[in-house]
């Protein structure tokens, strides 16, 4: 086994890892978790609006 065999083996290992990661990311079982994560930036807007309206009502 020489360095070229190791390079070929590492290329195959990286390709399999990449394909496994893509399969995991696009699997239907993860859709709910990814949808929740996608809406996180907008969750703060509702909290800020409620806080601002409470401050306005207190004044």
Instruction: Look up the domain containing 7 and give its range.
Output: 3-58
Pairwise CA distance, residues 19 & 23, whole Å: 6
Query: Residue 1's pLDDT band (boundaries 50, 70, 90)?
Result: confident
3-state secondary structure of 50: helix
Report residue 25 CA to chain centroid gap.
Answer: 8
* The pLDDT of residue 50 is above 90: no
Single pTM value for the model = 0.56
Q: How confident is the model at residue 44 (pLDDT cuts 50, 70, 90)?
A: confident
Q: Residue 22's pLDDT is what?
A: 94
Number of domains in the chain: 1
Q: Is the pLDDT reported for residue 52 higher than 70?
A: no
Cβ atoms 24, 30 nearer than 8 A = yes
């Amino acid at each position: 086994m020489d360095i070229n065999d190791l390079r070929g083996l590492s290329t195959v290992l990286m390709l399999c890892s990449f394909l496994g990661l893509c399969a995991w990311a696009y699997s239907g079982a993860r859709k709910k978790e990814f949808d929740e994560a996608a809406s996180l930036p907008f969750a703060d807007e509702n909290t800020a609006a409620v806080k601002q309206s409470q401050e306005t009502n207190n004044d």
